[in-house]
Structure 1
């Protein structure tokens, strides 16, 4: 089992398979533009930019599940992230990350990390080149603190 079996919608509503990212190291993050942690978008973009040529990508999944901190939709989200934080990494359709209505990808991510529900925005999942979860990081773990784990994952072949 890996993340490659899941389909997701891009921010502009195109359905894609996560198998398009096969062989890459990924950092999957639930984002929200009005969250006090939104400044992490800058650090996430920096990681994406610094390591994309080595086979790394950040994948952002906006969610309005925590205190309605993502009121924007689709291209509004993309424009905000690009304008305010220089985000160029892929953003996907706004989803739920907890509960019965959670996106199947997030059901999988939560179940594979001891079933602990997502507590807040900017929870991060580091995915290896094989599509399996390497590590889960809480909301307060800044992108800079994950860099060593990303470098290590990038040095591992499939």
Structure 2
């Protein structure tokens, strides 16, 4: 009996230290968006799994960007569709032009004071390149022609957790194109 116990403990110990068997952050081959989470500005995590079955709009933002007026348009979208199931997540990023100089809660506070933004904000993240947040690497692998090239790029995740599409920075959040795509996901069975 002690031999079996020793073998089991040895196996468990080996799993704990084996890099090949270690639990890792999901990568570009993850089956859907529900495998990802973002750090919250105020601490804790925002797990996309919590929004399974609902469309999710993820937008990389920057408070000093020329597109910062979209914070207010995103708020209109949030007010209009959150009650029907839309999740909207702002992901502050300093990747484009160094236009997010703020840190922590100051980012959301600025967007709230200047643009009335009340939707959730993730912690500042990298959204492009090899150091990008795992969600952004996954989205880039899924839709390589629709990667963020500037602040306020929008990714729409369908109710099934798959990437419906990417919408360029210049696409107004309340544009017919984006509203139609969100509406289709809200009505999808």
What TM-score range do you get, normalising by the shorter chain?
A: over 0.9
d(CA) in 2 for partners of 1:101 and 1:5? 18
Per the normalisation by structure 1, the TM-score is 0.95
Residue number in structure 1 paired with 2:127: 97
After TM superposition, give the deviation of residue 58 of structure 1 in Å: 1.2
d(CA) in 2 for partners of 1:77 and 1:112? 29
Residue number in structure 1 paired with 2:182: 150
Larger helix proportion of the pair: 2
Asked if 1:69 is matched to 2:99, the reply is: yes
After TM superposition, give the deviation of residue 16 of structure 1 in Å: 3.4
Residue number in structure 1 paired with 2:13: none
2:46 is matched with which residue: 8, 16, 22? Answer: 16
After TM superposition, give the deviation of residue 116 of structure 1 in Å: 5.0
Gaps of 5+ in 1: none
Could you say which structure has the greater relative contact order, defined with CA pairs below 8 angstroms and 6 or more residues apart? 1
Aligned-partner SS, 1:19: helix
Q: Give the aligned length.
A: 157
Q: How large is the Cα RMSD of the aligned pairs?
A: 1.1
d(CA) in 1 for partners of 2:154 and 2:37? 19
Structure 1 runs of 4+ aligned residues shifted over 4 Å read: none
Residue number in structure 2 paired with 1:130: 160
d(CA) in 2 for partners of 1:65 and 1:96? 6
After TM superposition, give the deviation of residue 114 of structure 1 in Å: 2.4
d(CA) in 2 for partners of 1:23 and 1:97? 24
Larger strand proportion of the pair: 1
**1:107-122 paired onto structure 2 within 5 Å:** 107-114=137-144, 116-122=146-152
| Distance of aligned partners of 1:116 and 1:53 in 2 relative to their CA distance in 1, 3 Å threshold | closer
Per the normalisation by structure 2, the TM-score is 0.80
d(CA) in 2 for partners of 1:8 and 1:110? 17
